[in-house]
């Protein structure tokens, strides 16, 4: 069955597009009619992705960008506007996970985590929003079920994603009536390279992803449900099935959350979603 064309002739910008959810979203939205600007640090991967999008019959441009650099974000937006002339959907997807118990994390680890997942996301929104207001567009922020279900060893990551949720709620209030809608998405376990990125933010293909494979969604499946949530302009969207259960327990039964984690082997207590 052909994909619905919910994003026909829309221009989409995705950060963190070189792998995982960002890459899968770029391809899914292109299938649904979008032209796509893709940003990340790994230029070679972006160029391959552009070719894949163009093979689907859509226009694409690779715009390298490190979201920890405010000037790079501003210039990325300028370049995509110069290329496409408009921006309809901005997806702040770039992020990584610092793993470790809070008492063992130094200031540098915290700054790396928050600079990427929080400050980089907020500045992505800052520079995209003036253009989104012109077209009553959509802003999408990538959170995590970890924001709603804290666990040992994921304190920095969970804190960053809780901040993303707060930013999304605040932006929704600040832009009420403007025509711009803000969707914050909280994935559960999805196939990605997050488990192979170290606390310095460096990818290492030799690192083992210790997240539970039986609970993992493919990035392609996740991209399809995320695209549907974006098209519907949902304010907040949680998936997978296990993610929804975990988020519900984390929100309403924090004591049960602690009891569950106490029963887990220590080796399974530091797995970002």
> Tell me: the pLDDT tens digits for 184-220?
999 998 987 666 666 776 766 666 766 677 878 999 9
In the residue annotation, 157 being an active-site residue is answered as yes
> Tell me: the pLDDT tens digits for 85-94?
999 999 999 9
Domain limits, the chain:
11-268
List the one residue out of 178, 150, 39 whose CA is nearest residue 95. 39
2 has pLDDT over 50: no
What confidence tier does 269 reach under pLDDT thresholds 50, 70, 90?
very low
Give the model's pLDDT for residue 1. Answer: 37
Query: Which residue is catalytic, options 157, 189, 217, 239?
Result: 157
Question: pTM above 0.75?
Answer: yes
Give the model's pLDDT for residue 57. Answer: 98
| 215 within 8 A of 149, measured Cβ to Cβ | no
For residues 13 and 138, what is the distance between their CA atoms, to the nearest angstrom? Answer: 11
For residues 204 and 47, what is the distance between their CA atoms, to the nearest angstrom? Answer: 20
| Structure tokens belonging to residue 253 | 């039964």
Mean pLDDT (the chain, rounded): 90
CATH topology of domain 11-268: Rossmann fold (3.40.50)
Which residue matches tokens 């949902």?
234
Give the up-direction half-sphere exposure of residue 131: CA atoms within 13 A in the CB hemisphere.
25
Q: What are phi and psi of 138, to 5 degrees?
A: -125, 135
Beta strands in the chain (DSSP E): 11-14, 35-38, 60-62, 89-92, 138-142, 181-186, 236-238
Give the residue with greater pLDDT, 46 vs 262.
46
> Tell me: the pLDDT tens digits for 215-251?
789 999 999 999 999 999 999 999 987 778 878 777 7
CA distances from 73 to 12, 51, 154, 229 (A): 15, 23, 27, 25
List the one residue out of 224, 201, 21 whose CA is nearest residue 99. 201
Number of residues written out for the chain: 273
> Tell me: the pLDDT tens digits for 111-156?
999 999 999 999 999 999 999 999 999 999 999 999 998 788 899 9
Residue environment code for 238-265, b if the CB has 16+ CB neighbours within 10 A, otherwise e: bbbebbeebbebbeeeeeebeeeeeeee
Average pLDDT over residues 74-94: 98
Q: What are phi and psi of 85, to 5 degrees?
A: 85, -5
Give the residue with greater pLDDT, 51 vs 197.
51
């Amino acid at each position: 069955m052909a994909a619905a064309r919910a994003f026909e002739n829309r221009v989409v910008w995705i950060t963190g597009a070189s792998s995982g959810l960002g890459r899968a979203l770029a391809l899914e939205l292109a299938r649904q009619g979008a032209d796509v600007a893709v940003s990340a640090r790994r230029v070679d991967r972006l160029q391959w992705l552009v070719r894949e999008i163009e093979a689907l019959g859509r226009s694409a441009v690779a715009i390298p960008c490190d979201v920890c650099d405010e000037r790079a974000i501003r210039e990325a937006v300028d370049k995509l506007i110069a290329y496409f002339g408009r921006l309809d959907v901005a997806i702040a997807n770039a992020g990584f996970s610092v793993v470790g118990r809070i008492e063992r994390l130094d200031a540098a680890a915290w700054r790396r985590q928050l600079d990427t997942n929080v400050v980089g996301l907020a500045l992505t929104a800052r520079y995209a929003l003036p253009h989104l207001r012109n077209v009553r567009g959509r802003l999408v922020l990538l959170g995590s079920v970890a924001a709603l279900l804290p666990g040992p060893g994921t304190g920095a990551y969970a804190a960053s994603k809780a901040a993303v949720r707060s930013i999304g709620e605040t932006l929704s209030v600040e832009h009420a009536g403007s025509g711009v809608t803000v969707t914050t998405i909280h994935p559960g376990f999805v196939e990605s390279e997050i488990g192979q990125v170290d606390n310095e933010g460096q990818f290492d293909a030799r690192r083992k992803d210790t997240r539970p494979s039986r609970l993992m969604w493919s990035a392609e499946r996740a991209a399809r449900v995320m695209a549907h949530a974006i098209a519907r302009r949902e304010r907040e969207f949680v998936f997978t099935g296990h993610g929804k259960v975990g988020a519900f327990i984390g929100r309403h039964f924090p004591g049960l959350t602690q009891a569950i984690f106490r029963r887990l082997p220590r080796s399974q207590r530091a797995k970002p979603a």
